[in-house]
Amino acid sequence: MCLQFPAPEGYASRVRDGISLVGYDAFCTPPVVGVAMPGPYTANAFTLAPVSPQADAISQLFVGTLIFLGAILALVTFLVIFAVIRYRDRPGAPEAQQKFGSRKLELLWTVVPILSLVVLAGFMVRTMAVCDPPTADAKPDLRIVAHQWWWEIYYLKTGVVTANEIHIPVGKRLLVDFRSADVIHDFWAPDLGRKIDIVPGHPNRLWIEADRVGTYLGVCAEFCGNEHAWMRFLVIADPPERFAAWMKEQGAAPPKPVTADEQLGAKIYRERICTNCHMRSVGPDLTHIASRRTLAAGALENTPANLAAWLHDPDDFKPGSNMPNFKLSDEEVHALVAYLETQK
């Protein structure tokens, strides 16, 4: 059993696997050396800080509902606390009145809640139409295929393929078509709006939109197995020119390897048939991996050091992920990192 805390700066030694409990091979995973904490997690997601009209509609309804519910809670709390204080048993207190009920009161506290809920229901109906516009008639702009435990993203109009990071132009709403490659997942970017399940055999669609430039956090919000916690994604809302430039870069062929290291890396990439997974949708497309902010669907910040550490042993960071440990030597890792860093 090991009680681990994040490795402080300069933590030097590596601790191997902790005690195996009845055959589990990783009851403890060791702390990682010299690797920055996953980023970029400086800003939060917040259901009450909407950046789209859809999220805004929900946020307003939520605030109104919270106020309504808070008022009820305050009322009930007051009534209960008042009762237990005012009518507490103490010397000289009057006898308990043997009362049995009042039809009038029952009517009051049945009808008033019903009426309030009818009003709430009215707001609900209106908000639903705004925050989840119909999707049946338009053609999707993106297809997102959810895998255990990463996101595959296709831009249907341009053919661009990427993973774990969705770029959208500010102020324009895009229609996303969701598929699952395996189990039920869920796409949730709280700043942008509602979440939607991704169910195998039951395609779903959602409009996504952001009115402000920024990077918005998203998570998988349906338990999907081992690494559900590290199935995060980013939605990056760019100004239109930057978005167009990004799209162009993503669509272009990546630069050819130049240095010896890069060439060796390219060779290893071919010979170890990384493409077997990474170009067949078993693992994320790596064509432009160096342009992304995170690795392993948010588990790591995308830095050469992290990439190297990941290649050494993926299980250090995301145990149970489908990427095997290829037992690469240090030179092989160095070369691969050099190569992959050119894939912008």
Partner 1 sequence: MKEVAIPEALGGESFELEAHEGWLDWVASVDHKKIGLMYLFSSLIFFLVAGVLALVMRIQLAIPDNHFLSPAMYNQIFTMHGTTMIFLVVVPALVGFANYLVPLMIGARDMAFPRLNALGFWAQAFGGLMLYFSFATGAVNGGAPAIGWFGYAPLSETAFSYGPGVNYWILGLLGIGVGTLTAGINLIATVICLRAPGMSIRRLPLFVWMTLVTAFLIVLVMPILNAGLVMLLVDRLLNAHFFRAGSGGSAVLWQHVFWSFGHPEVYIMVLPAFGMISEIVPVFSGKPIYGYDFVAASTVAIAFLSLTVWAHHMFAVGLGHTFDLFFGFTSMAIAVPTGVKIFNWTATMYQGRVRFTTSMMFAVGFLLMFTIGGLSGVAFAVVPIDWQLTDSYFVVAHFHYVLFGGTAFAVFGGAYYWFPKMSGRMLDERWGKVHFWLTLIGFNLTFMVQHVLGMLGMPRRVFTYPPLPGWEAMNMISTVGAFILGFSVLIFIVNVVVSLRSGKVAGDNPWGAWTLEWATTSPPPEENFAHGVPPVRGRRPLWDLAHPDRTDEMMMKLAG
Subset of 224-263 contacting partner 1 (CB under 8 A): 224-230, 232
| Distance separating alpha carbons of residues 203 and 195, to the nearest angstrom | 14
Structure letter (DSSP) for residue 45: P
Phi and psi at residue 141, to the nearest 5°? -95, -35
* Closest-CA residue to 208 (of 169, 241, 245): 169
Does the footprint of partner 1 cover residue 58 (CB under 8 A)?
yes
Task: Give Dmax (Cα) for the chain.
Answer: 96
- Of 11, 14, 34, 80, the one binding partner 1 by CB under 8 A: 80
User: Which residues, 174 to 203, sit near partner 1 by CB under 8 A?
Assistant: 182-184, 186, 188, 190, 193-197, 199-202
User: Which residues, 266 to 325, sit near partner 1 by CB under 8 A?
Assistant: 298, 319-320
| Distance separating alpha carbons of residues 164 and 159, to the nearest angstrom | 16
Q: How far is CA 301 from the centre of its chain?
A: 15
What is the closest distance, in whole angstroms, from the C-beta atom of residue 170 to partner 1 in the complex? 21
Number of residues that bind partner 1 (CB under 8 A): 106
User: Which residues, 204 to 223, sit near partner 1 by CB under 8 A?
Assistant: 204, 217, 219-223
CA-based end-to-end distance of the chain: 42
- Assess contact for 301 and 308: CB atoms under 8 A: no
Question: Closer to partner 1 at the Cβ: 16 or 256?
Answer: 16
- Of 41, 244, 245, 272, the one binding partner 1 by CB under 8 A: 41
What is the closest distance, in whole angstroms, from the C-beta atom of residue 124 to partner 1 in the complex? 5
Interface region with partner 1, contact rule CB under 8 A, candidates 90-98, 157-165, 236-244, 276-284: 90-98
What is the closest distance, in whole angstroms, from the C-beta atom of residue 91 to partner 1 in the complex? 11
What is the closest distance, in whole angstroms, from the C-beta atom of residue 321 to partner 1 in the complex? 10
- Assess contact for 215 and 234: CB atoms under 8 A: yes
Does the footprint of partner 1 cover residue 11 (CB under 8 A)?
no
Phi and psi at residue 210, to the nearest 5°? -135, 135
